[in-house]
Amino acid sequence: MNLTPKEIVSYLDKYVIGQNAAKKTIALALRTRYRRMQLDSTLQNEIMPKNILMIGSTGVGKTEISRRLAKMMKVPFIKVEASKYTEVGFVGRDVESMVRDLVVNAISIVKAEFEESNQEKIDNYVLNKIVEKLLPPLPDSASESKKDDYQRLLEAMEKRVESGEMDDKTIELEVDKIHVEFDDTNLPPEMIKVQESFSKVFSQMNKEDNKKELLVKDAKVLLRQEAASKLIDNASVNTEALKRAEDGGIIFLDEIDKIALSEKSQGRNDPSKEGVQRDLLPIVEGSSVSTKYGTINTDHILFIAAGAFHVSKPSDLIPELQGRFPLRVELESLTEETLYQILTQTENSLLKQYEALLSVEGLTLKFEDEAIRSLAKLSHRANEITEDIGARRLHTVLEKVLEEISFNADEYKDEEFIITSKLVHEKLDEVVEDDDLSRYIL
């Protein structure tokens, strides 16, 4: 969380080309959260998060920014689609479940950190259990010389288990039944607790033999889970996770335009859309949500909403909800040059992905710079004459160009294939310029 705005933007630059205004706004919002946590508690409670509304066509990088933030941030973060929620009373997910999802995410982060900090204890537990099965302990009545010999064998066996030399050996293990947690966040916490109580009762009634024959490599995985569950203090984990979700949680609310009521399509709209907005309002404004891990207050959760707003406008959202997203940022449509940069400058770009995939077949794929320029130009042209789907057009265009080469890759084993501008135009010119073909193929 302790990243400066410049460091956040620099990280996003590796994956998202352009959209500097959006990156800057998000970087500042995240840094403000860190600054708030350094203040005294009285002032902390007064500083509310500045929620962000990102507006931009499909394929310009809204979702990609959220994906990369999720990987970068070590704070509870979830991405949800507003279109999958319904008003209370309709069949579907209620909006409170997004906050419960956030808490589940926070629990997994805290548990992972706990396992990392107790790595040595967990490793020792796993090693001792496996060695004990491979080399049963001596009886207490054994002589000193036998005990010395056993100690040397034990040390040798530990090294062999650690190095993976014994991974293919079979051992009989008494496996503890791992407690199943119900994380259906759409159910009320009370119902989840009832389900878990039934689960415990049935597991106690069903006392069959827990001994299983396993390969050592599989036993390591099971014992690691067992060690973590025995060492972990669930009460402390839950308390810490709730605190982190409250103070540092981020909910990325995608497709928010799908719950806006536009004047054009008033008659065709699902009547639950406005209800979803009304249900969303108290959560964004700040309320208490009950979860199976405890009650969480949503006052300081940061909401980042995003939508294309093709059919509707941000002003079609109910005024109270608009007011809870004070920071507005508009993402620019992608130009030909931007598409070229997406293909050449992003980390693990589409071109690198195709080169890596075809290298599996022994084919070395190369793209001429002029060919990449042509791909960008034709993608931009296709976006102009049909629906603008942004960078997603690059996927369809590249697949069309490489389809035949990919299909016959076995014929080019140990060869180099160069994608030229001429080949790109041969494959795409007719499709791009024919409006009907373009709509159905690209």
CATH class of this structure's domain 336-431: mainly alpha
Cα–Cα–Cα angle for 111, 70, 273, rounded to 5 degrees: 110
Q: Which residue spans within 202-342 are E strands per DSSP?
A: 211-215, 250-254, 288-291, 294-297, 302-307, 327-330
CATH superfamily of 5-110+244-330: P-loop containing nucleotide triphosphate hydrolases (3.40.50.300)
DSSP string, 70-92: HHH--S-EEEEEGGGB--BTBSS
Considering only CA atoms, which of 223, 179, 173, 224 is closest in space to residue 197?
179
The pTM of this model reads 0.78
* pLDDT value for 353: 92
For the chain, percent of residues with pLDDT exceeding 70 = 86
- Tell me the C-alpha to C-alpha distance, in Å, between residue 243 and each of 93, 192, 236, 295: 25, 22, 11, 10
Cα–Cα distance, 164 to 77 (Å, whole number) = 36
Cα–Cα distance, 38 to 48 (Å, whole number) = 14
CB within 8 Å of 208: residues ≥ 6 apart: none
pLDDT in tens, 205-239: 554 556 777 787 778 888 888 888 888 888 888 99
Highest mean pLDDT of the ranges 29-33, 272-276, 352-356: 352-356
Cα–Cα–Cα angle for 292, 297, 302, rounded to 5 degrees: 115
| Domains of the chain, residue spans | 5-110+244-330, 112-238, 336-431
pLDDT in tens, 149-183: 777 887 888 788 788 777 777 777 776 655 555 55
pLDDT in tens, 379-396: 888 888 887 888 888 888
Answer for the pair 397, 438: CB distance below 8 angstroms, yes or no: no
Would the pLDDT of 77 be above 60?
Answer: yes
